[in-house]
Structures are given as C-alpha cells and as structure tokens.
Structure 1
C-alpha cells in the first residue's frame, strides 16, 4: 500500500485525498495552523492528521496549495524531509510558473528528495467520482506511477521539469483568463446601461457563451482571491517583453477587485451574477 501525504486540505487537496483513499492508498496530511473547514474536509476525506516528521516518511508528498504559498510550503517542509531517513518524492501540483517551480525545487535541494513538477486540470473529484487530469514532468523514472495505481488520471509528460507548470498556466489562459474578460465585459455593460442588450445579443449571436458565463460567474466569485496570484504567475511566465503579460496583470486586478468586493458585501458580485444570467 502506498502512503501519500497531501498538503493542504483545500477543496482540491481534500478531493484528491479522498480519491486516493478510495483507490486504496493511505493518505496523510498535517493540519497545523489550519482552520475548521480544512479540518472538516480532511476528516470527511479519511485523511490522517500527522506531524511533519511523519509526512516526511510518506512515499509521495503532494503540494496542493494556492500559488502564492507553493514556495513557502516547500521551505516549511524542507527541514523535516532533510532529517528523515525516508526520502519521498515531492510533487508540486500548483498553478505556478516554471520559474516558481524552480524556486520550489531549489528550496528542497538539500532534502535528498526527488522533486517532480505537476499540475491538476479539472474540478476536485467527488466521492466515487472521476479524477481530474494530473500531469507530471521531469519524472523520467516514473516515480509518480503509484498515483495511477491508486486511481488518479496520471498523465506523465515526456518533457523536462517545468513543462507541467507551463501547461497549467497556458490552459488557465483560456479558462480563468476568459472568465476575467467576461466579468469585465458584463460589469462594463451593466455600468453603462447596456446589460440587457448585451444579454439579448449574446443569446442571439453567441449562445454557447451564455451558458458558459452563467455557470462560470457563481463558481468564480468565492475563488477570486485565489486566482489573483495565478494570473500573476501567468504574467511572469509570459515575461515583460510579451504584451500579453499586461492582459493577465489586468486579469489579476479584476479578481483582486472582485475578492475585495466580496469582503465588503458583494455589490459588484451581485451585479455580475444578475448580468450574466441568460436573457428571458
């Protein structure tokens, strides 16, 4: 039986953990400093809360945290990994740029552990549900193969370390990037009295977008605060010489604004939800 540690137990981490438990793995986590929701998700997923020293004795450690926390988690775990006689494979599965993935690898350079680049594309798995795609790069020896044996949709890439992170970001350009553009479009139309006409015109000429926006907006609002750093990772990935980087800095600011609005009562969010409903 493979022992897999997951840090941390957000919606995706807990969902992946549950899926692995259903696939017969022993799944560990560490809940030091985590809130009640994280603890509830871990218990419901069947994850064992253990000290970092025991996390460091797992076969595989999966890092599944917000992009801005990826390097800090690696730095936090590095001493326990270095001190452990076991040397798990550390897989960074976060929405970060290849450059940030290299910083994660550098933080673990003295640990003696193999570090693999990964990414997750898809929604958190539901109980007895379908696994999201789990891509890995920089793993020529297939050290992460037990993830497939325990039910994850494991997709090894014949590519160097950093390619999986790059894949995640370019994919997010057409999902979260488009959602930011749609939010700006809807709010701009509502602000200037063109909301009803926009909804009617989309229903007439772009019907496939109507359903997409109606689903994407309520899903995005509680996550907007998490997507700020991801959009900035995309901008950093593109680099200062690529004019598209400015687009994704703008997307980061859209999500920053919506996250702040949610904290302040959600007036913009309510406008966005109303403005993205299909025209009657």
Structure 2
C-alpha cells in the first residue's frame, strides 16, 4: 500500500486526500496549528494526523498550499527530510512560477529527496467523484505513477522540471485572469452608470459570457485573497519585458482590493454580484 502525505488539508488538499484514500492509499497529514475547518476536512477525507517528522516516512509528499507558502513549506520540511532514513518524492502541486518551483527545489537540496514539479487543474474531488487533472514534469523515472494507480487523473508531461508550473499559470491567465477582467469591467460600469446597459448588451451579444461570469463571480469572491499571489506569480512568469505582465499585476490588485472589501464592508462584493447576476 502506498503512503502519501499531503500538506495541507485545505479544500484541495483534503479533496485529493479523499480521492487517494478511496483509491486504496494511506494518506497522512500534519495538523499542527491548523483550525477546526482543516481538522474536520482531514477527518472526513480519512487523512491521518501525524507528527511533522513522521511525514518523512511516506512514499511521496504532495505540497498543496497557497502559492505564497510553497517555499516556506519546503523549508519547514527540509530538516525532517534530511534526517529521515527514507527519501520520499516531494511533488510540488502549487500555482507557482517555474522560478518559484526552482526555489522550492533549492530549499530541499541536500535532503536526498527527488523533487517533481506539478500542478492541479480542476476543482477539488468529491466523494466517489472525478479527479482534477494532475500534470507533472521533470519526472523521467515515473516516481509519481502511484498517484494514477490510486485514483488521480495523472498526466505526465514529457517536459523538463518547471513545465507543469508554467502550464498552470498560462491556464490561470484564461480563468482567473479573465475573471479579474470581468470584475473590473462590471465595477467600472457601475461607477459610471453604465451597468444596466452593459448587462443588456452582454445578454444580447455575448450570452455565453453572461453565463460564465454569473457563475464565476460568486465562486471567486471568497477565494480572492488566495488569488492575489497566483496573479503575481503569473506576472513574474511573464517577466518585466512582457507588457502582459502589467495586466496580471493589475489582476492581483483587483483581487487584493476585493479581499480587503470582504474583510470590511463587503460593498464591492455586493455590487459585483448584483451587476453580474442582473438580467
């Protein structure tokens, strides 16, 4: 039986843990400092809470954390992995740039653990549900093959380390990037008194966008704080010489503003939901 450790037990981490446990794997996690929500998700998924040092005894470790925490997690685990007798494969599945993925690999240098670059595209798995796509690159030895055997939709890439991270970011350009553009569009129209006319025109000429944005806006608002770092990873991936990088720094600032609004009055969020849903 394959033992797979997952950090952390957020919505995606717990969903992946659930799918792997359903597929026959033993799934470990560490809940030190985690709240009641994480503990409940881990229990529901059948994940076993063990001391941090015990994660080094797994066959594989999956890192599934917010983008801004990816390097810090690798640094936190490095001493245990360096000291452990077993050397599990460390698979970074976060929404980070290839340059940040290299920083993760550098943080684990000297541990003896192979590091694989990866990404997740899709929603967290539900009980008896389908898996999101899990792309991996820089894994010529097929160290991640057990993920496919235990129920994940594994998609190995014949590409070097960093390619999977790049894929995640360019995909995010057409999902989270477009959602940020739509948020700016709706809020700008509302400020200038053009909201009703905009929605009527979209209903007339772009009905597919109306359906998309009507679903995307309520889904985005509670997650906006998590998408700030991801948009900045996209900007870093594109580089300072690419004018599109400025667009994604702007997207990060839109999400930053919406996240701050959610912590405050919620006025912008209510306006955005009303503008996107009105028809």
1:1-280 residue pairs with structure 2 within 5 A?
1-279=1-279
> Which 5+ residue runs of structure 2 have no aligned equivalent?
none
Q: What's the TM-score once normalised by structure 2's chain length? A: 0.99
Distance 2:52 2:81 in 1: 9
Distance 1:175 1:201 in 2: 22
The whole-number CA distance in structure 1 between the counterparts of 2:113 and 2:221 is: 37
SS across alignment from 1:117: strand
Cα deviation for residue 165 of structure 1 reads 0.1
Q: 2 CA distance for matches of 1:139 and 1:240?
A: 30
Residue by residue over 1:80-123, the C-alpha shift from the partner in whole angstroms, topping out at 9 and shown as x without a partner, is 00110010000000000000000000000111000000000000
- In structure 2, how many angstroms separate the alpha carbons of the residues matched to 1:76 and 1:164? 23
Residue 278 of structure 1 deviates from its aligned partner by: 4.5
- Give distance in 1, aligned partners of 2:99 and 2:201: 42
Instruction: Supply the distance in 2 between the matched residues of 1:189 and 1:123 (Cα, whole angstroms).
Output: 30
CA contact under 8 A between 1:61 and 1:91: conserved in structure 2? yes
- After the TM superposition, which parts of structure 1 deviate over 6 Å for at least 4 consecutive aligned residues? none
What is the SS of the residue equivalent to 2:130? coil
Return the offset for 1:176: 0.1
SS in 1 for 2:31: coil
Measure, in 1, the Cα distance between the counterparts of 2:53 and 2:64: 19
**TM-score when normalising by structure 1:** 0.99
Partners of 1:217 and 1:128 lie apart in 2 by 27
* 1:211–1:278 contact (8 Å) kept in structure 2: no
SS in 1 for 2:277: coil
Say if 1:210 and 1:278, in contact at 8 Å, map to a contact too. no
Separation in 2, partners of 1:203, 1:126? 33
Q: Distance in 2 between matches of 1:98 and 1:168?
A: 10
Matched residues, number: 279
Identify the range of structure 1 (252-261 vs 189-198) with the bigger mean alpha-carbon deviation.
Answer: 189-198
Shift, 1:265, TM fit: 2.5
